[in-house]
Structure 1
Amino acid sequence: MIRTSIRRAIVPGIAVLALALTGCGADNEDDSNTGAGSGGGESSTTSNLSGDLSGGGASTQQAAMGAWAVGFQDANSGVTVNYDPIGSGGGRENFISGAFPFAGSDAYLTDDEGELTKAQDQCGGTVIEVPDYVSPIAIAFNVPGLDELNLSPETLAGIMSGAITTWDDAAIAKDNPDADLPSERINAVHRSDESGTTENFTDYLDAVAGDVWTAGVVETWPSDFGGEGAKGTSGVVQTVTNSEYSIGYADASQTGDLGQANIKVGEEYVAPSAEAAAKILEVSPEADVATDTQLVFDLDHKTQESGVYPIVLTSYFLACGSYDDAATADLVKAFAEYILSDEGQQQAAAEAGSAPLSADLASKAQDIVAQIGG
């Protein structure tokens, strides 16, 4: 039996939301088992791992992290996993400072602001970055009487930049010739905090409609583009839900009963789904900063491949290649191994709606995580 409770815990300088998990009814039959869980079945063994593992970052990973923590606990009853969904920027900042031994980020580390070098210094040289969560970024909308919405890249960019202000604008009507569009003003909702979701979304807008979206790729929404700001994924979803004639961007798995726009790719409009989102990694190259321990991608938002949803959030698990404390290294490594296992990926798909990594990609990520040591 697994009992899950939520409490507040403290790590250096950080108040984190802890997923405090307590297991009962499991015997310690194999002290050598790490509980990583490489198969698709349900784990029921225990291990000799114990202690608290506290990390944080992307709020988009919150539901998946909860699922992973429960599954990991099933095999490691002596471990408490804490994840603070403070956003990708906060996760990277606390990972770089050493407050978090691991982090979740919707954007990979670069040296645009010196983050990669700082992380390498903190880790003593080697930084681990592997994809652990892939999900479509849905364009969620709340328009009474409108059940389906098609948007071309240029139209979406116009809405989010403030160039298109009413629902019956000619550009929206062109994408939706059979829809009865209201003449109401559009309330475009964006993230008010530094966000990897914003970076992924604006990376798409910049790539496909750079002449309309002129702010480039940003983690913090440009103030001169207007709209309504909301903190975190949950804040955007709540604002769109509570405000008629609103539209915003959020992880598709967390948009609830809101409408989700179909996005034009080539000559078709593609709905956000885990399967359609996962396909983009198959057509995307590794980033210039990719290394033997950093498996990161530059998504091909301009793809014309049929059935590919182009607005995708690829979230990464950040860790160090080595830790001064061997116990911490063991916990980080075992937790990452569970996340990347068939069991972990399927559990996140079931509980958070994410797209499981392909077998090839998961295998590459597992080989990198296997290098973590103390």
Structure 2
Amino acid sequence: MKLQRKIGLRATALGALAVSGALVLTACGSDDNAGGSTGGTGEKTSAASNIKCDGAKGKLLASGSSAQKNAMDVWVKNYMAACTGVEINYKSSSSGEGIVAFNQGTVGFAGSDSALKPEEVTESKTVCKGGQGINLPMVGGPIAIGYNVPGVDKLNLDAATIAKIFSGKIKTWNDPAIAALNAGVKLPSTAIQAFHRSEDSGTTQNLGKYLGATAKTDWPYEAEKKWPAPGGQAASGSSGVAAQVKQAEGAIGYFELSYATSQSIPTVNIATGAAAPVEATSENASKAIAAAKIKGTGNDLALGLDYTTKADGAYPIVLVTYEVVCDTGNKADTLGTVKSFLTYTASDEGQKVLTDAGYAPIPAEINAKVRTTVAGLK
């Protein structure tokens, strides 16, 4: 509980910083326009950081995953403070919407919690002239299962029980299956209200991959971005699901960890078969992500995650958010900014801020390949 409280305080402080930073950036944008800025020289390096703005200019539009929003807010704040006159506008929507926007050519890059499908790669070739869309792993972290059950400060669940809760087979909090995993805990007869994402979501797909790999009997659905199970209630974005869980007694939902810590929503410990149920923390997610292997080919760095891990302290419900870019064929007016910004997010400095925001940095060996690939974008 002390660790959760510490992380929660960190995330709350960071959220306040991001809000204040957004206000500062808005003001700075107004000052630049008033002063007749031409959109940045692309030559400035911040004295307070190692952010290099070489080739960056004007405005860069991006959109997609809401799971990485809190990380993106901090990255954008830091980057725009260093690169005067350059504007990064990331629209937090969903992985599905981000990929659609990317393949329509309306954004410089997209954020997605799942790698491009083969048909999406094929579609990207019409936008990436002479190339194709590739996946660059940039943000890791746990998918927290948040709950609202007054009087229950600690809750253990396993994959089968989670599957039954989200598919509507378990309907009350004092169900024998939940009680068996929480000896000595007084569970109420409160009805369970399970919340899921209303739109196509990579977070949904990653949860589905975990349940499909570990509880196939109780979760017979394909791991798709669209919510597959009957029943439950829908909300928009990770923020929407978290808000519903926060306010509805008996609620349970899934979202990226920083949404739980910033709103003091308790999270489920996962019984994986390890020596003890595993808490949703950045450190524990890192242990699972460290075992990831690159499954993409060429410049594509899509990862294969082990959702069935039973390693002690390895939190199994993880996601990796990719920045989807063209390997070749990027628009000339945004290429410099895309390379400059993603060089920063993949840097040691950019990755370092992730832990404080409730995320898990990408393993160093994989991240080194991300930097090389970003440097070679054309």
Which category of TM-score, normalised to the shorter sequence, fits these structures?
0.7 to 0.9
> Is residue 20–residue 80 contact of structure 1 (8 Å, CA) maintained in 2?
no
Q: Look up the equivalent residue of 2:102 and give its one-letter code.
A: F
Which of 346, 360, 364 lines up with 2:352 in the alignment?
Answer: 346
Which of 205, 212, 237 lines up with 2:211 in the alignment?
Answer: 205
Which of 113, 119, 125 lines up with 2:124 in the alignment?
Answer: 119
> Is residue 68–residue 348 contact of structure 1 (8 Å, CA) maintained in 2?
no
Superposition deviation, residue 186 in structure 1: 0.6
> Is residue 51–residue 82 contact of structure 2 (8 Å, CA) maintained in 1?
yes
> Is residue 143–residue 207 contact of structure 2 (8 Å, CA) maintained in 1?
yes
Which of 89, 92, 114 lines up with 1:85 in the alignment?
Answer: 92
Superposition deviation, residue 331 in structure 1: 0.6
Taking only the aligned residue pairs, the percentage that are identical comes to 37
Q: Look up the equivalent residue of 1:144 and give its one-letter code.
A: P
Distance in structure 2 (CA, Å) of the matches to 1:19 and 1:109: 33
> Is residue 65–residue 93 contact of structure 2 (8 Å, CA) maintained in 1?
yes
The structure in which a higher percent of residues are helix is 2
Are 2:289 and 1:281 equivalent residues in the alignment? yes
Distance in structure 2 (CA, Å) of the matches to 1:194 and 1:353: 23
Match of 2:277 in 1: 269
Match of 1:365 in 2: 370
Which of 169, 172, 177 lines up with 2:183 in the alignment?
Answer: 177
Match of 1:295 in 2: 301
- Taking structure 2 as the reference length, the TM-score comes to 0.86
> Is residue 102–residue 332 contact of structure 1 (8 Å, CA) maintained in 2?
yes
Match of 1:334 in 2: 340
> Is residue 138–residue 250 contact of structure 1 (8 Å, CA) maintained in 2?
yes
SS in 2 for 1:319: strand
> Is residue 46–residue 74 contact of structure 1 (8 Å, CA) maintained in 2?
no
Q: Look up the equivalent residue of 1:237 and give its one-letter code.
A: A
> Is residue 23–residue 77 contact of structure 1 (8 Å, CA) maintained in 2?
no
Superposition deviation, residue 297 in structure 1: 1.3
Are 2:225 and 1:230 equivalent residues in the alignment? no
Q: Look up the equivalent residue of 2:286 and give its one-letter code.
A: A
> Is residue 134–residue 314 contact of structure 1 (8 Å, CA) maintained in 2?
yes
Match of 1:260 in 2: 267
Distance in structure 2 (CA, Å) of the matches to 1:80 and 1:36: 15
The structure-2 alpha-carbon separation of the partners of 1:184 and 1:297, relative to structure 1 and needing over 3 Å to count, comes to same
Encode CA deviations 1:285-342: one digit per residue, 9 max, x unaligned.
333xx01211111211111111110000110011112346433111111111011011
> Is residue 270–residue 278 contact of structure 2 (8 Å, CA) maintained in 1?
yes
Structure 1 residue runs without a partner (length 5+): 8-17, 26-30
SS in 2 for 1:67: helix
Distance in structure 2 (CA, Å) of the matches to 1:214 and 1:88: 23
SS in 1 for 2:325: strand
Distance in structure 1 (CA, Å) of the matches to 2:328 and 2:51: 29
SS in 1 for 2:373: helix
Distance in structure 1 (CA, Å) of the matches to 2:255 and 2:26: 23
Distance in structure 1 (CA, Å) of the matches to 2:27 and 2:116: 29
The structure-2 alpha-carbon separation of the partners of 1:315 and 1:370, relative to structure 1 and needing over 3 Å to count, comes to same
Distance in structure 2 (CA, Å) of the matches to 1:35 and 1:348: 22
SS in 1 for 2:107: coil
Pairwise mapping of residues 67-146 of structure 1 onto structure 2 (< 5 A)? 67-111=74-118, 114-124=119-129, 125-146=131-152
Encode CA deviations 1:108-146: one digit per residue, 9 max, x unaligned.
0012xx111111332122333111111100000000100
Distance in structure 2 (CA, Å) of the matches to 1:220 and 1:138: 19
The structure-2 alpha-carbon separation of the partners of 1:49 and 1:218, relative to structure 1 and needing over 3 Å to count, comes to closer
Distance in structure 1 (CA, Å) of the matches to 2:278 and 2:145: 12
Equivalent pairs, count: 349
> Is residue 134–residue 325 contact of structure 2 (8 Å, CA) maintained in 1?
yes
Match of 1:250 in 2: 255
Distance in structure 1 (CA, Å) of the matches to 2:210 and 2:169: 17
The structure-2 alpha-carbon separation of the partners of 1:6 and 1:291, relative to structure 1 and needing over 3 Å to count, comes to farther
Q: Look up the equivalent residue of 1:254 and give its one-letter code.
A: Y
SS in 2 for 1:355: coil
Distance in structure 1 (CA, Å) of the matches to 2:49 and 2:374: 22
Q: Look up the equivalent residue of 2:160 and give its one-letter code.
A: E
Superposition deviation, residue 74 in structure 1: 2.4
Distance in structure 2 (CA, Å) of the matches to 1:19 and 1:90: 25
Superposition deviation, residue 161 in structure 1: 1.0
My pick for the range that moved more, 340-349 or 138-147, is 340-349
Which of 172, 185, 189 lines up with 1:166 in the alignment?
Answer: 172
SS in 2 for 1:263: strand
Superposition deviation, residue 152 in structure 1: 1.1
Match of 2:67 in 1: 60
My pick for the range that moved more, 69-78 or 79-88, is 69-78
SS in 1 for 2:127: helix
Encode CA deviations 1:21-54: one digit per residue, 9 max, x unaligned.
54999xxxxx7747599xxx73488766320000
> Is residue 54–residue 340 contact of structure 2 (8 Å, CA) maintained in 1?
no
The structure-2 alpha-carbon separation of the partners of 1:311 and 1:232, relative to structure 1 and needing over 3 Å to count, comes to same
Distance in structure 1 (CA, Å) of the matches to 2:249 and 2:80: 41
> Is residue 277–residue 308 contact of structure 1 (8 Å, CA) maintained in 2?
yes
Q: Look up the equivalent residue of 1:156 and give its one-letter code.
A: I
The structure-2 alpha-carbon separation of the partners of 1:56 and 1:269, relative to structure 1 and needing over 3 Å to count, comes to same
The structure-2 alpha-carbon separation of the partners of 1:36 and 1:181, relative to structure 1 and needing over 3 Å to count, comes to same
